[in-house]
């Protein structure tokens, strides 16, 4: 029995999506996830039923990066999705998505199918107006805290303007650049003040602090699950 986070994806409106594009994008997503998070994967991401993908990992600090990679790859391929994230344990040594079992797996499937797809009382709150929907579920951890914090982060990011996203993306790609240098590279007339203004208006530092809080909470949950396991 190992503490784990399981991810269960189902593509929205898959019956009307181009099948070739669907499989191409799912395969690309699977390959990226299995390559990028190889060290921490306990159940490799794999496709099931033609429009689902499931996988699990043991590194609780990597939950947000996994979701971000999924979102970027799938939505870039024109796909929207339901994602259930289950927190708990994997209770056997199986590494296949068809045979793995445990509370993390059951909670991920329940989050996706019961709360998101079937619009359960809790799940429907977290998918209003969103292209894709993510829901955390657990009997071992405060999933409501994770859901509320993650949704707040998303709302902040979705409110960013194109110019704010441009500046933020450039600075994150070039962390050694000063505001002055970044602004010049981006072609701003007042480089330093424009970059500073864009970051302030986007509440960038607050968003980064919230992301750290989210990651820290998941790390703490992982440590507590490990302690309970004995």
Per-residue pLDDT of 132-143, as tens digits, reads: 899 999 999 999
Reply yes or no on whether the pLDDT at 128 is more than 70. Answer: no
Question: What is the pTM assigned to this prediction?
Answer: 0.92
- Nearest C-alpha neighbor of 136 from the set 53, 29, 60, 49: 60
Per-residue pLDDT of 55-113, as tens digits, reads: 999 999 999 999 999 999 999 999 999 999 999 999 877 788 888 889 999 999 999 99
Segment 184-189 long-range contacts (CB within 8 Å, at least 24 positions apart): none
Reply yes or no on whether the pLDDT at 230 is more than 80. Answer: no
Is the alpha carbon torsion for 223, 224, 229, 230 positive or negative? positive
Give the per-residue pLDDT at 156: 94
Give the per-residue pLDDT at 127: 63
- Nearest C-alpha neighbor of 86 from the set 177, 183, 3, 7: 7
Reply yes or no on whether the pLDDT at 163 is more than 70. Answer: yes
Position 217 confidence tier, pLDDT thresholds 50, 70, 90: very high
Could you give the CA distance from residue 9 to residue 51 in angstroms, rounded to a whole number? 8
Position 129 confidence tier, pLDDT thresholds 50, 70, 90: low
Mean pLDDT of 224-230: 86
Which residue would you say has higher pLDDT here, 39 or 93?
39
Reply yes or no on whether the pLDDT at 122 is more than 90. Answer: no
Per-residue pLDDT of 167-197, as tens digits, reads: 999 999 999 999 999 999 999 999 999 999 9
Reply yes or no on whether the pLDDT at 17 is more than 70. Answer: yes
CB within 8 A of 44, min separation 6: which ones?
34, 55, 95, 97
Give the per-residue pLDDT at 95: 81
- Nearest C-alpha neighbor of 44 from the set 35, 34, 52: 34
First CA to last CA distance, the chain: 10
CB 179 within 8 A of CB 211: no
Q: What angle do CA 211, 45, 102 make, to 5 degrees?
A: 85
| Percentage above 70 pLDDT, the chain | 97
Average model confidence (pLDDT) across the chain: 92
């Amino acid at each position: 029995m190992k503490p784990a986070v399981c991810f269960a994806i189902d593509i929205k409106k898959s019956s009307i999506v181009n099948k070739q594009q669907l499989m191409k994008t799912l395969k690309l997503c699977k390959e990226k996830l299995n390559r990028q998070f190889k060290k921490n994967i306990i159940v490799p991401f794999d496709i099931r039923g033609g429009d689902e993908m499931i996988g699990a990992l043991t590194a609780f600090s990597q939950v947000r990066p996994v979701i971000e990679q999924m979102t970027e790859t799938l939505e870039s391929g024109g796909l929207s999705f339901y994602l259930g994230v289950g927190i708990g344990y994997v209770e056997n040594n199986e590494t296949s998505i068809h045979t793995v079992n445990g509370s993390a797996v059951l909670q991920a499937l329940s989050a996706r199918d019961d709360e998101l797809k079937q619009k359960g009382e809790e799940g429907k709150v977290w998918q209003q107006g969103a292209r894709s929907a993510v829901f955390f579920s657990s009997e071992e951890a405060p999933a409501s805290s994770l859901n509320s914090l993650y949704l707040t982060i998303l709302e902040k990011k979705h409110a960013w303007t194109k110019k704010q996203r441009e500046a933020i993306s450039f600075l994150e790609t070039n962390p050694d650049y000063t505001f002055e240098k970044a602004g010049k590279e981006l072609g701003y007339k007042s480089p330093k003040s424009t970059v500073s203004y864009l970051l302030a208006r986007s509440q960038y530092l607050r968003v980064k602090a919230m992301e750290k809080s989210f990651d820290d909470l998941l790390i703490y949950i992982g440590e507590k699950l490990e302690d309970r396991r004995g």
